[in-house]
Amino acid sequence: MTFADYQNEVYLNGLAGQTPAYPVGWQELEAAGQAAMTPQALGYVAGGAGGEDTMRANREAFDRWRLVPRMLRGIPAQRDLSTTVLGTAMAAPVLLGPVGVLQIVHPEAELAVARAAASVGLPMVLSTAASTTLEEVAAATSDAGRWYQLYWPKDRELAASFVQRAERAGYGAVVVTLDTWQLGWRPRDLDTAYLPFLQSQGIQQYLADPVFRSRLDRTPEEDPVAAVLQWVGLFADPSLTWDDIAWLREQTSLPVVLKGIQHPDDARRAVDTGAAAVICSNHGGRQVDGATGSLDALPGVVAAAGELPVLFDSGVRTGADAVKALALGAAAVLLGRPYVYGLALGGEDGVRHVLRTFLADFDLQLGLSGHGSVADLSPASLVRRD
């Protein structure tokens, strides 16, 4: 069975009067998912920086690149989309990107996402800002591929503890987010005066960490306010430079991936630091307003990175989006907001629905555009429309 066969499953179920439990189109899914959220959760998940111009730029960048279908190329009906990135096997070149504080969307939070991802063979990148500890997620999906995303705190011993915990728990890589050493200006969150971390939501990695706990006079259970205030003082380190990556690499044997690269010079610096891969990303438009669309930045980052794998996120919504990013040189794409909308609608089942529809769309777009495998994709598969 291939991912594209999900289409047949849906149509056959229709003969029995069954339609999909959740929307299939990404815009309909987004609308339904947003309607299922509280106003505070909606602002946190759906919002972006400033006037949200970067969010729009991400989608506009995909619109500028157009697929050029080719015919009569003997495309196999059974396409194998599986790949391996940094030693992590995945059923398709797709990962679930790190999204924090998922308890505000659904009570099963990251556990539901992790189980759904594992069920279709995709790795999950677990956020430092998760509502569930990395050990709990690992225990729930012991055989699944997973990476750990690091928000680098001011306390070096705490940073080392985070990545070493991830290594012991079986995570396959450390993804360092570079673009969030301070929260961006997010009007939707400001309108509701809502920052979930101040309510002890999304700081569970910290509360469970022995180094973090050792810095407190009383345990987080005894004095949750003091724990939150300590988190405020430690969340991120604006003083970091490229030279600090060498220190992090000494703390773990896991490959270190740098997320948030948009400029070719930064890709070259990543190579020089010994990074194992980079992620071309603008944080889904949540940090810098008026920034370039991530897909527009991708070709330059790929060229500058040389042999270093480049992954991609920000604005991915459809299978065609994934095909375009892979054609421009990405080794894999990361999916973000769409699976969160699935979580809001139906927990684990909702996430699984989103992943199955995305993978079916991706599989079909790849074949129908004349490509028998992901390896067949190249910039020649596209044309740029200015």
- DSSP states of 229-269 as a string? HHHHHHS--TT--TTHHHHHHHT-SS-EEEEEE-SHHHHHH
The DSSP code for 65 is E
DSSP string, 274-299: T-SEEEE--GGGTS-TTPPPHHHHHH
Q: Name beta bridge partners: 125.
A: 147
* Residue the block writes with tokens 């987004």: 30
Question: Does residue 17 belong to any structural domain of this protein?
Answer: no
Q: How far apart are CA 329 and CA 61, in angstroms?
A: 15
Neighbouring residues of 33: CB distance < 8 A, sequence distance ≥ 6: 340, 341, 342, 343, 344, 345
User: Which tens digit of pLDDT belongs to each residue from 242-255?
Assistant: 999 999 999 999 99
Q: What is the pLDDT of residue 386?
A: 80
Q: What is the pLDDT of residue 351?
A: 98
Q: Name beta bridge partners: 149.
A: 175
Instruction: State the average pLDDT over residues 381-386.
Output: 93
User: Which tens digit of pLDDT belongs to each residue from 56-84?
Assistant: 999 999 999 999 999 999 999 999 999 99
Among candidate residues 96, 111, 94, the one with its CA nearest the CA of residue 3: 94
Instruction: State the average pLDDT over residues 154-172.
Output: 98
Q: What is the pLDDT of residue 347?
A: 98
Percent of the chain with pLDDT over 90: 98
Q: Is 1 a residue whose pLDDT tops 80?
A: no
Question: Does residue 5 belong to any structural domain of this protein?
Answer: no
User: Which tens digit of pLDDT belongs to each residue from 122-131?
Assistant: 999 999 999 9
Question: Does residue 31 belong to any structural domain of this protein?
Answer: no
What is the residue range of 321's domain?
Answer: 37-373
Q: What is the pLDDT of residue 137?
A: 97
Among candidate residues 26, 36, 120, the one with its CA nearest the CA of residue 346: 36
Q: How far apart are CA 28 and CA 235, in angstroms?
A: 35
Q: Which residues are catalytic?
A: 283
What CATH number does the domain containing 167 carry?
A: 3.20.20.70
When pLDDT is cut at 50, 70 and 90, the band that residue 143 belongs to is confident
Rg (CA), the chain: 20
Question: Does residue 4 belong to any structural domain of this protein?
Answer: no
User: Which tens digit of pLDDT belongs to each residue from 302-344?
Assistant: 999 999 999 999 999 999 999 999 999 999 999 999 999 999 9
Q: Is 176 a residue whose pLDDT tops 80?
A: yes
Question: Does residue 288 belong to any structural domain of this protein?
Answer: yes
Question: Does residue 209 belong to any structural domain of this protein?
Answer: yes
3-state DSSP assignment of residue 201 = coil
| 39 close to 188: Cβ distance less than 8 angstroms | no
Domain count across the chain: 1
Of 142-146, 286-290, 368-372, the one with minimum mean pLDDT is 142-146
Average pLDDT in the chain = 97
Q: How far apart are CA 24 and CA 45, in angstroms?
A: 20
User: Which tens digit of pLDDT belongs to each residue from 346-368?
Assistant: 999 999 999 999 999 999 999 99
Provide the angle, in degrees to the nearest 10, between the axes of the packed helices 319-327 and 53-64: 70
Q: Is the dihedral of CA 114, 201, 193, 215 positive or negative?
A: negative
Residue 150 tokens read as 């690091």
Q: Is the dihedral of CA 345, 50, 61, 90 positive or negative?
A: negative
When pLDDT is cut at 50, 70 and 90, the band that residue 142 belongs to is confident
Residue 237 tokens read as 């380190």
Residue 213 tokens read as 């706990």
Q: What is the pLDDT of residue 159?
A: 98
User: Which tens digit of pLDDT belongs to each residue from 183-206?
Assistant: 999 999 999 999 999 999 999 999
Q: How far apart are CA 38 and CA 41, in angstroms?
A: 5
Question: Does residue 8 belong to any structural domain of this protein?
Answer: no
Q: What is the pLDDT of residue 146?
A: 97
When pLDDT is cut at 50, 70 and 90, the band that residue 291 belongs to is very high
Question: Does residue 385 belong to any structural domain of this protein?
Answer: no
Neighbouring residues of 336: CB distance < 8 A, sequence distance ≥ 6: 96, 97, 99, 284, 313, 314, 316
Q: Name beta bridge partners: 257.
A: 175, 277
List of E strands, the chain: 65-67, 83-85, 88-90, 94-96, 124-126, 146-150, 174-177, 256-261, 277-280, 310-312, 332-335, 382-384
Residue 343 tokens read as 């979580």
